Chain A
Amino acid sequence: MTDSTNPQKTRPMSKLARAWDSDIGYAFRRSPVAIVSLAVAMTLVLAAVFAPLIAPYNPFDPATLNLMNGFTPPSEPNAFTGETFWLGTDDQGRDVFSTILYGLRISLFVGFAAVMLGLTLGVIAGLVSGYYGGWTDTLIMRTADVQLTFPSILVAMLIFGIAKGVTPVEYRDQMAIWVLILAIGLSDWVQFARVVRGATMVEKNKEYVQAARLIGRGSLPIMFRHILPNVLSPVLVIATISLALAIIAEATLSFLGVGAPPTQPSLGTLIRVGQGFLFSGEWWILFFPACTLLALALSVNLLGDWLRDALNPKLR
């Protein structure tokens, strides 16, 4: 990849090439952990996005399912139908590889959406809190303190329970994914709010903010157009680490049976289902979803760790 950028040196560099040439790009090229993590994470994301194209079967189309195919071991022909499945099948004859791809889709979607929700809420709360100060600040930060007293997974479970109770019974399964996003998103806004508040309190006394105020810009444009871009780099780090945590939180909730429903299984739901077959020897139903979850969580986590170090000027 380095060679391909060289012949273009004479032309003005593209955005991508500039990113490649920056400090972060340099740190990235020098870190094998970061390269491998990004490769694994990107592969999984692409696999999830193109799941309908890659997956050999549609595990949620009852017409393609054959109960006779149930419990087929990986890469061995089924005793009745003679069909072979790369990663085997589950109790209902669904291809495990396909269910993993579709499960990955749900896990990643919930993870991304929950982080976006937490990020949006947290950034707004942090900006408002840091910029205005006073009782607004006290109110927001005290709420954050109360929430921080409890582990976020517990908060998420509680929000899930309340939201489930509020939705009418007939919509519960359809709404479960959105409730999950809400629960995880609301449980992790505090990290973002704290960091953004701290950075905003530093930024708001700088000259460019005073200048913006002098030329008569309102509070909202100052907060979102001037201060926000300058406080984003720690937000990026927290977002990456939060993504790993959100994916694990989603898997945990679904595993516990308070997350994605069996009709829309995420990786956690698949592991929950697979655990039931551990004792009867059908290990693959559990093993492959677990490995996928592990690869996803570990690669995103390592990427977040690396990003934190790379963006920290003290460590350079």
Chain B
Amino acid sequence: MFSYIVRRVFQSVIVLLVVGLVAFAMFNFVGDPIDNMLGQERTQEDIDRLRAQLGLDQPFPVQYWKFLMNAAEGNMGVSYRQGRPVTEIISERLPATLELALVSGFLALFFGIVMGVLTAIRRDGWMANTVMTLSLVGVSLPTFLIGILLIYIFSVELDMLPSFGRGEVVEVGNWTTGFLTASGLKALILPSITLGLYQMTLIMRLVRSEMLEVLRQDYVRFARARGLSERVINFRHALKNTLVPVITVTGLQLGSIIAFAIITETVFQWPGVGLLFINAVQFVDVPVMAAYLMMISVLFVGINLIVDLLYVAIDPRLRG
């Protein structure tokens, strides 16, 4: 058990070091930082001075080490495009993305589990068949088309919900939240459905197949023999035992929700980190790209690690 944890943590650190190397390489090889920072009228002296100041004259491992230390302190350089520290820009944008991810994750989990259970119980009903067919179409639909479709129906035709932005936001300390105003909540509906739909179908299919498996087990038959009501059997006995894989998958999907938020944020012009990243790619704003990469990899690797450790904690068979 202990050696497993140590090995897992060690692997995660290696992954982060590799990603850090990629981010560092981006700084050094994609465009010349000296070019980016000095204007047209520069002398060789200026260049040498800045080079020494930035530590670019030092050997590669020393530079890499400094880069990692800076990154760990939250110093990721200055955006080429906005001229402000990257950490500042990202921390401004992060609440929008996290709120969106939270709501869509919740939607996906709730409706995914409910629909998964229902389609498993009434396996051959027309509702189950419709839902399963729709989910197949839903998986092939690109996210941005779903977003555009929702905008067309609910914003253009019905004029019920806003098609872009966060609505009114309230500042709570360093955090801006859209949860506290009516327009903020309204603005959350379409983006969160768009973002959560794919994860919802995934969770639904998983819960369904796990439920079908569990419902065949002996203890469910005995519960039925004891005369327990169908609802107690389905939700208390069967569902509980399907949740372990669901927790794992949901945990892993949390990372992809934040990554796929890039697409949703672009469709709805949602002012989060995803939109920031895509603009950075368009304008080759290397510090922002590198910082986003570092941030998302810490997130992904962290989530993977926690899920793996949780898995061991939940399932005693894996502790060997």
* Binary interface encoding of chain B residues 271-311 relative to chain A, with 1 for a CB under 8 A from any of its CBs, else 0: 00000011011101010010001001100110010000000
Inter-chain contact B297/A150, CB cutoff 8 Å: yes
**A271 touching B304, Cβ below 8 Å:** no
A251 to B266, CA, bound (A): 14
Tell whether B262 is near chain A: CB-to-CB under 8 Å. yes
B15 within 8 A of A: yes
Chain B binding surface SS class: helix
> Which residues 188-225 of B sit at the A interface, judged by CB distance below 8 A?
none
Residues of B within 8 A of A146 (CB): 15, 18-19
B26 at interface, CB cutoff 8 A: yes
Partner of B304, one of A149, A151, A286: A149
Which of A54-62, A70-78, A293-301 has 4 or more CB atoms under 8 Å from chain B?
A: A293-301
Q: B137, A278: Cβ atoms under 8 Å?
A: no
Let me know if B256 is at the binding interface, CB within 8 A.
yes
Taking a contact as CB atoms under 8 Å apart, the answer to whether B281 and A153 are in contact is no
Q: How far is the CB of A151 from chain B (nearest CB, A)?
A: 5
Question: Are A278 and B156 interface neighbours, CB within 8 A?
Answer: yes
Q: Which of A164, A165, A257, A298 has the most CB of B within 10 A?
A: A165
Tell me how many residues of B have a C-beta within 8 Å of chain A: 42
Q: In the complex, which residues 114-156 of chain A have their Cβ closer than 8 Å to any Cβ of chain B?
A: 146, 149-151, 153-154
List, in ascending order, chain B residues with CB within 8 A of A271's CB: 144-145, 148
A-chain residues with CB within 8 Å of residue B151 when the two chains form the complex: 278
Could you tell me if B301 and A252 are in contact, using CB atoms closer than 8 angstroms? no
**Inter-chain contact B260/A278, CB cutoff 8 Å:** no
A48 at the interface (CB under 8 A from B): no
A275-B148, A297-B140 given as contacts; is B260 within 8 A of A158 (CB)?
no
Question: Is there a chain A Cβ closer than 8 Å to B141's Cβ?
Answer: yes
Is the pair A298, B15 in contact by a Cβ cutoff of 8 Å?
no
When chains A and B are docked, how far (Å) is the Cα of A270 from the Cα of B103?
A: 31
Q: Note all chain B residues with C-beta closer than 8 A to A301.
A: 139-140
B281 and A160: CB pair below 8 A? yes
Partner of B278, one of A157, A162, A294: A157
Whether A255 is near chain B, meaning CB under 8 Å from some CB there, is: yes
- CB of A93 closer than 8 Å to a CB of B: no
Residue in contact with B262 in the complex, picked from A150, A248, A256, A278, CB distance below 8 Å: A256
Q: Using Cβ atoms and an 8 Å threshold, which residues of chain B touch A158?
A: 281, 289, 293
Pairwise interchain contact B278-A149, C-beta atoms closer than 8 A: no
Does chain B have a CB within 8 A of A41? no
Q: Is A315 an interface residue (CB 8 A)?
A: no
Q: Which of chain A's residues 212-248 have a Cβ closer than 8 Å to chain B?
A: 244, 248
* Contact yes or no, B281 A258, CB < 8 A: yes
From residue B59, how far is it (CB to closest CB) to chain A in Å?
23
A161 contacts chain B at the CB level, 8 A cutoff: yes
A157-B262, A256-B266 known; A150-B300 Cβ under 8 A: yes
Bound form: Cα–Cα A75–B42 in Å: 60
Chain A residues, CB < 8 A from B293? 158
The smallest C-beta distance from A146 to any residue of chain B, in angstroms, reads: 5
Chain A residues 244 to 302 lying within 8 A of chain B, measured CB to CB, are 244, 248, 251-252, 255-258, 271, 275, 278-279, 283, 286, 290, 293-294, 297-298, 301-302
Distance (whole angstroms) from the CB of A27 to the closest CB of chain B: 19
Bin chain A's interface residue count: 35 or more
Cβ–Cβ contact B304 & A293, under 8 A = no
B79 interface residue, CB < 8 Å from A? Answer: no
Q: Flag if A251 contacts B30 (CB, 8 Å).
A: no
**CB of A63 closer than 8 Å to a CB of B:** no
Indicate if B142 sits at the interface (CB-CB under 8 A).
yes
From residue B249, how far is it (CB to closest CB) to chain A in Å?
A: 14
Please name all residues of chain A whose beta carbon is closer than 8 Å to the beta carbon of B141 when the two chains form the complex.
294, 297
A165 touches B142 (CB 8 A): no
**Given the complex, which residues of A lie within 8 Å of B142, measured CB to CB?**
248, 251-252, 255, 293, 297
Which residues from B are CB-within-8-Å of A157? 262, 277-278, 281
* Known contacts A151-B256, A154-B296, A166-B30: A257-B278 contact under CB 8 Å: yes
| Contact yes or no, B278 A150, CB < 8 A | no
Assembled-state Cα–Cα distance A122/B30 (Å): 26
Asked if B97 is at the interface of the complex by the 8 Å CB criterion, the answer is no
Residues of B within 8 A of A160 (CB): 281
Scan A45-59; emit 1 where CB is below 8 A from any B CB, else 0: 000000000000000
When the two chains form their complex, are residues B140 and A298 in contact, meaning their CB atoms are under 8 A apart?
A: yes
Instruction: Please name all residues of chain A whose beta carbon is closer than 8 Å to the beta carbon of B31 when the two chains form the complex.
Output: 165
Q: Is B119 an interface residue (CB 8 A)?
A: no
Q: Which residues of B contact A (CB under 8 A)?
A: 15, 18-19, 26, 29-31, 137, 139-145, 148, 151-152, 156, 163, 255-256, 259-260, 262-263, 266-267, 277-278, 280-282, 284, 286, 289, 293, 296-297, 300-301, 304
Name 5 A/B residue pairs within 8 A (Cβ), A-sorted: A146-B15, A165-B30, A252-B143, A256-B266, A271-B144
- Give residues in A with beta carbon < 8 Å to B: 146, 149-151, 153-154, 157-158, 160-162, 164-166, 244, 248, 251-252, 255-258, 271, 275, 278-279, 283, 286, 290, 293-294, 297-298, 301-302
Q: Apart from A161-B281, A255-B142, A286-B148, what are 19 other A-B pairs with CB-CB below 8 Å?
A: A149-B300, A150-B300, A151-B255, A151-B259, A157-B262, A157-B281, A165-B26, A165-B284, A244-B140, A248-B140, A248-B142, A255-B263, A257-B278, A257-B282, A258-B278, A278-B148, A290-B148, A293-B145, A297-B140
**Which 8 A/B pairs are nearest by Cβ-Cβ distance?**
A165-B30, A161-B281, A165-B284, A301-B140, A154-B259, A298-B140, A151-B259, A248-B142
